[in-house]
Structure 1
Amino acid sequence: MISELQYSSSLTGASFLLYELKQVIGLKVQGLNDKEIKQRVTEENLFQYKYESSIKRSLPSVLRRVNALDETLFQMVLEEPLETGKIINLYAIMKTDRLFFEFMDEVIREKYEFHNLLIETKDLNLYFTVKAEQDNKVAGFTEKTVAKLKQVFYKVLFESGILKDKKTGELSRLLIDEDLKEYIIRIGDGQFVKAMGH
């Protein structure tokens, strides 16, 4: 359950990583375990990163996301259009990152519900202030970490298609494939679909 997850700032080293997610799912489908995947990604530079340190930073998050998905979702990421892959990646981020899920659930979902399709800096500031009051771990984040998390939240919103325009903060509603939506609800994860505004 998401409520059992600790709040963490691991998203600062991760961001959206859809290309990386696809690479790792491809290896998973071939039957490789996490250790073998780490080896292949590093040795063959499958993420096409300039520095190995970047792989070390992002791979744990990618593996966590992949391990939160099942075979059906793997196939969808590999075979369905890019938009479906984006939605599944967003779902995997929410499933593995409590701070981001609650942001989607408490801030973005509410905006959709009230037809207020605009996100502003103050929305993020307020969210982090409230979380810091509720949780000691979040309260212990440095200003630099919080600033980086805000940046990454924006980036994830933008790359998933929720944030239409970075400058104006205009949001758009996600179009979720009906089969995907029904499948996520059927496996008991309807709360994530709701957080995406559906």
Structure 2
Amino acid sequence: MKIVAGNHYSGSLTREQFLFYEIRTVSSLILQGESCDEIYHVISTENLFQFPTEKMIKSITNTCFKRIDAMNAPELVYHLANASLDVAKQINLYAIMCENRIVYDFMTEVIGEKYRSQELDFSAKDVNVFFMELSEKVSTVNGWSESTRKKLKQVLVRFLAECGYLETVRSQNLLPVYLYPELDEAIRKKGDADALAAFNCFI
């Protein structure tokens, strides 16, 4: 069965970002058996996210739920909460890929192809070409403002730096990355073979 991950092209990443601490917190509360409403309550009353408004807390918590649901892999929720930072960050990137098609396409078609070809140079041109091609095939993306596109490009590059693909957001070369066994096993179990390329895995 072919998995169609990242079921929509959304510009919401401009405000949602990587949210690693937040999704790790939500995953821990899920493992404790808390319901969605209970998780909202705990995060809000204990001010776990350090956000200034109730609306922001609810929005970000909802984003974490959506990413966790999109993965459709309960074992990865456990690893999000309990694994080392590097493993959990890689799983978080996959969760974002599963929830937002822009990230899935970018990671598999641009980054995955660079690892496949071993042409590891990286620049703003790669991101610009990706968005140009995306605009031609997805009407939603074509309608976004230049400001939204610019912010999304910045977010994607920050994701790469956050997960060890780039040394910094200004780096010009991709670093070797390793697909951790916890995520590797879950991806294969789901049948999401296309996602493997995003993590430099072609076996």
**TM-score between both structures, scaled by the size of structure 2:** 0.88
What residue in structure 1 maps to residue 145 of structure 2?
A: 142
| CA distance in structure 1 between the aligned counterparts of 2:36 and 2:70, rounded to whole angstroms | 13
Unaligned runs of 5+ in 1: none
C-alpha contact 2:5 2:101 (8 A) present in aligned 1: yes
Aligned length: 198
Larger mean CA deviation between 162-171 and 14-23 belongs to 162-171
| CA distance in structure 2 between the aligned counterparts of 1:180 and 1:153, rounded to whole angstroms | 20
| CA distance in structure 2 between the aligned counterparts of 1:165 and 1:19, rounded to whole angstroms | 20
Larger mean CA deviation between 55-64 and 124-133 belongs to 55-64
* Alignment partner of 1:25 out of 27, 51, 56: 27
* Alignment partner of 1:133 out of 123, 136, 145: 136
| CA distance in structure 1 between the aligned counterparts of 2:77 and 2:6, rounded to whole angstroms | 25
C-alpha contact 1:77 1:85 (8 A) present in aligned 2: yes
- Structure 1 residue 77 corresponds to structure 2 residue 71: no
> What letter corresponds to residue 31 of structure 1 in structure 2?
G
| CA distance in structure 2 between the aligned counterparts of 1:73 and 1:39, rounded to whole angstroms | 24
Q: Assess, with a 3 A threshold, how the Cα gap between structure 1 residues 99 and 4 changes in structure 2: closer, same or farther.
A: closer
- Structure 1 residue 184 corresponds to structure 2 residue 187: yes
Tell me the secondary structure at the aligned position of residue 16 of structure 1: coil
TM-fit CA distance, 1:169: 2.6
Unaligned runs of 5+ in 2: none
C-alpha contact 2:164 2:175 (8 A) present in aligned 1: yes
Tell me the secondary structure at the aligned position of residue 45 of structure 1: coil
1:91-170 pair list within 5 angstroms: 91-170=94-173
**TM-score between both structures, scaled by the size of structure 1:** 0.90
> What letter corresponds to residue 29 of structure 1 in structure 2?
L
Q: Assess, with a 3 A threshold, how the Cα gap between structure 1 residues 169 and 34 changes in structure 2: closer, same or farther.
A: farther
C-alpha contact 2:9 2:100 (8 A) present in aligned 1: yes
> What letter corresponds to residue 121 of structure 1 in structure 2?
A
